[in-house]
Amino acid sequence: MRLDYERQQKFAPYLRSSSSPVVELHSKLSVQDRTRFHNGLLDWIGFGEIDTRQDKISAAYRRTFEWLFSDPQESKWSDFPRWLMSDAEQLYWITGKPASGKSTLVKFIYRDERTMQHLKQWAKRKKLIICSYYFWNSGTHMQMSEEGMARTLLHHALRQAPDLWASLFPYQMEEYIAYGNPWHHQITWDDMMRAFRVLVEGAGKDYKLFFLIDGLDEFDGEHEKLIDMLQGFLSPHVKTCVSSRPWNVFQDRFQQRPSLRLEDITYDDIKHYVSSRMSESIGFKERQMETPQEAAQLIENITIKASGVWLWVALVTDSLLEGLAEGERLSELQARLNDELNDIGKKWMRIIKNLTTTNIGLNIGLYRYGNRSDCHGVRGNYYGHRPKSEQRKSAYVSRKPVWRTLLVPSLHPPVLHQNRSRSFLN
């Protein structure tokens, strides 16, 4: 109490003066007090699992996704570097089927130095602030909600530009100076939205914003409202790159924007992954020297069968490497590849193991067998066709036995609609 009284007496003239901006009050603080305020502000905005989802996403396998920063081949995708540098378009849409690597690509973009280099040409001499958020419907409320997104983006912005407190949270500084603890109550939705609007509307004068938002389909709410929110803060000074499954709700709103569809582009990446993994086997190298065409055809067949699904190709490659270790020849490996129904129990256990120990370097998901030509991706709990209220209470337990779960991606996947969003988790 004594310290609070002394603090109020020290800063009383500034608090009473309507002509003294809060920045002047801030200048009277010691370096230690400023640091304490900044750390307290970040703790107040943040939450425990703020970076958990990003940390769980594997890094891209070596020398994959390099095509993103090259000229598009046969106009298969919109030129990403040009979009980063241009003022013409503010939103870029990354889409693809489940487990096609969307989250890994977003993380790759976030970490690659070329992203920063291109964006700096767009920002020119203004400060560049890069913020990311990854929706995750297997996580907590904060990992799949508008609140979690807003708090994360504000947190990232303030970490990179601490002086933004003056425009985003001036009242917290006044309270800190007067009483020393403005964090006694939780941040409210109004606090967040006011600060977020100021952050976005203030872009252009001193700074520019780049938002990376992954997994829009994993948002636990109305997707139309989320899209409206995202498009509402686009401007010549705010760029946003989003990713989602190709649901109708996203296609309707984003199809005219610069975009790419991953499974249409990753053929060479998957072939490189398979070739690299197989080449690590001495047994494969020996068989490759004996029958090079048969070895090349095996790699080609795996790549084609993968149909853009990284989990499947990773598990199949593991299975073939096990066969090589057991002395199987290439013809036997081809038979193993063709026999997806073989040893299903072990494949199921391998999926469970890969949920926590995979290091394939690309985003993965589970694939549940529906019929001979239908296999949908799921991650985490599988909710089936239950109402949202029931989905939140408990995970859906499939009536199909475990042995009906196959690792066979469909070559002709069904169209995923908005009203099935909780049935097939990304």
- Kindly list the structural domains of the chain, giving each domain's residue range(s) and its CATH number in brackets, ordered by start: 2-264 (3.40.50), 267-420 (no CATH)
Q: What is the Cα 334 distance to its own chain's centre? A: 35
223 within 8 A of 249, measured Cβ to Cβ: yes
Q: What is the pLDDT of residues 199-215, one digit of tens each?
A: 999 998 899 999 999 99
Q: Give the strand order in the sheet containing 91-95.
A: 127-134, 207-214, 238-244, 91-95, 259-261
158 within 8 A of 164, measured Cβ to Cβ: yes
Q: Give the predicted TM-score (pTM) of the model.
A: 0.76
Q: Check pLDDT > 80 for residue 318.
A: yes
**Residue 112 pLDDT level (bands cut at 50, 70, 90):** very high
Q: How far apart are CA 68 and CA 24, in angstroms?
A: 46
Which range of 317-326, 353-362, 400-409 scores highest in mean pLDDT? It is: 317-326
Sign of dihedral through CA atoms 366, 380, 57, 419? positive
For 79, residues 6+ apart whose C-beta sits below 8 A from its C-beta are 71, 72, 258
Q: What is the pLDDT of residues 338-392, one digit of tens each?
A: 875 344 335 544 554 454 433 333 333 333 333 222 233 333 332 333 333 333 3
Q: How far apart are CA 88 and CA 94, in angstroms?
A: 18
Q: Give the relative orientation of helices 330-338 and 292-306 as an angle to the nearest 10 degrees.
A: 20
Backbone angles phi, psi at 54, to 5 degrees: -60, -40
The β-bridge relationship of strands 238-244 and 91-95 is parallel
For 206, residues 6+ apart whose C-beta sits below 8 A from its C-beta are 126, 127
Q: What is the pLDDT of residues 118-173, one digit of tens each?
A: 999 999 999 999 999 999 999 999 999 999 999 999 999 999 999 999 899 998 98
Assigned token pair, 126 = 């203004």
Q: Which DSSP helix (H) or strand (E) runs through 370?
A: strand 366-371
| β-bridge partners, 243 | 94
**What integer best gives the mean pLDDT of the chain?**
78
Q: Check pLDDT > 60 for residue 69.
A: yes
Helix, strand or coil, per DSSP, at residue 391: helix
